[in-house]
């Protein structure tokens, strides 16, 4: 929302820098701000109706998140998507969520399946390209249930902080043909495995689901070559050139 003067409306009861950071981070995660986009401090000050300090602080926090590259006295640009970082985030999620599912299947299969199913039904209601944002938010909510019900809320916060590059890859993947329906089927398989108390089926469905985006990284790279950064691959390429 904007004010009558054209500024983006901020909640003045909260820290301004925090809100600017949150808004820019969401734009980057949803690829509204594409990798390589230059971020002008002057333009951001004008858009948000704030001074230089909160904009500077927000950009520094985004740099800590790994979402922007700051070149002093030159430019600030949205970072490319770090595939190596995304792979490590995927490994972390697999390690935690597989254990969470195992425990929940053993201790509360029906209650967990019911909680997951409620989110899945909401997600099915917004399974349309015009509602990507809502669909993606509910996708995260589906997984948050696993952390909450297994008593790992603090780990959920850690996972969210570490998953920024994986989230960006997923967002590039989401519009691809058939992806939404595939995600819904995978979520349904997880719910069914949990409800039936079949630990191995539930874990297998979860593994398949969490591996989906990186399993087609070649297709994503081919479609968005300038968005992707793979340090190991680029180092090998530079070594060959040298």
CA–CA separation, 3 and 90 (whole Å): 40
The rounded percent of the chain whose pLDDT value lies above 90 is: 81
Q: Is the dihedral of CA 194, 195, 199, 203 positive or negative?
A: negative
Rounded to an integer, the average pLDDT of 65-85 is 94
Does pLDDT of 235 surpass 90?
Answer: no
Quote the pLDDT of residue 71.
92
Q: List, for residues 219-234, the tens digit of each pLDDT value.
A: 999 999 999 998 765 5
Does pLDDT of 81 surpass 90?
Answer: yes
Does pLDDT of 194 surpass 80?
Answer: yes
User: Which residue would you say has higher pLDDT here, 74 or 192?
Assistant: 192
Rounded to an integer, the average pLDDT of 5-18 is 74
Of 71, 85, 55, 67, nearest in space to 26 by CA: 67
Looking at CATH, the fold of the domain delimited by 82-226 is given as 1.20.120
Quote the pLDDT of residue 40.
95
Residue ranges matching CATH 1.10.10.10 in the chain: 16-79
Inter-residue contact 210 to 173 (CB < 8 Å)? no
Residue ranges matching CATH 1.20.120.530 in the chain: 82-226
Tokens of 1: 């929302």
Query: Residue 72's pLDDT band (boundaries 50, 70, 90)?
Result: confident
Does pLDDT of 73 surpass 90?
Answer: no
Rounded to an integer, the average pLDDT of 20-37 is 95
Rounded to an integer, the average pLDDT of 68-82 is 93
Q: Out of 10-19, 133-142, 217-226, pick the least confident.
A: 10-19
φ/ψ of residue 75, rounded to 5? -165, 160
Indicate the SS3 state at residue 156.
Answer: helix
Query: Between β-strands 228-229 and 81-82, what pairing exists: parallel, antiparallel or unpaired?
Result: parallel
Query: Between β-strands 75-78 and 81-82, what pairing exists: parallel, antiparallel or unpaired?
Result: unpaired
Class of domain 16-79: mainly alpha
Query: Residue 1's pLDDT band (boundaries 50, 70, 90)?
Result: very low
Quote the pLDDT of residue 151.
97
Quote the pLDDT of residue 232.
63
Does pLDDT of 59 surpass 60?
Answer: yes
Quote the pLDDT of residue 175.
85
Does pLDDT of 237 surpass 80?
Answer: no
Tokens of 12: 């003045």
């Amino acid at each position: 929302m904007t004010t009558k003067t054209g500024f983006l409306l901020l909640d003045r009861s909260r820290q301004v820098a925090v809100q600017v950071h949150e808004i820019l981070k969401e734009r980057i995660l949803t690829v509204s701000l594409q990798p390589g986009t230059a971020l002008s401090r002057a333009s951001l000050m004008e858009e948000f109706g704030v001074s230089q300090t909160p904009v500077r602080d927000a950009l520094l926090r985004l740099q800590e998140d790994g979402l922007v590259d700051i070149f002093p006295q030159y430019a600030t640009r949205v970072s490319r998507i770090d595939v190596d970082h995304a792979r490590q985030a995927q490994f972390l999620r697999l390690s935690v969520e597989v254990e969470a599912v195992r425990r929940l299947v053993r201790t509360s299969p029906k209650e967990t399946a019911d909680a997951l199913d409620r989110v899945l039904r909401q997600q099915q209601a917004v399974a349309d390209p015009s509602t990507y944002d809502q669909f993606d938010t509910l996708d995260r909510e589906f997984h948050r249930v696993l952390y909450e019900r297994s008593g790992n809320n603090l780990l959920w916060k850690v996972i969210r902080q570490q998953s920024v590059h994986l989230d960006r890859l997923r967002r590039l993947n989401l519009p691809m043909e058939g992806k939404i329906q595939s995600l819904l089927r995978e979520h349904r398989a997880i719910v069914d495995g949990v409800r039936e108390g079949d630990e191995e089926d539930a874990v297998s469905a979860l593994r398949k689901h969490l591996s989906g985006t990186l399993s087609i990284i070649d297709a994503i790279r081919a479609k968005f070559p300038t968005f992707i950064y793979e340090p190991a691959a680029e180092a090998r390429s530079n070594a060959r050139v040298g």
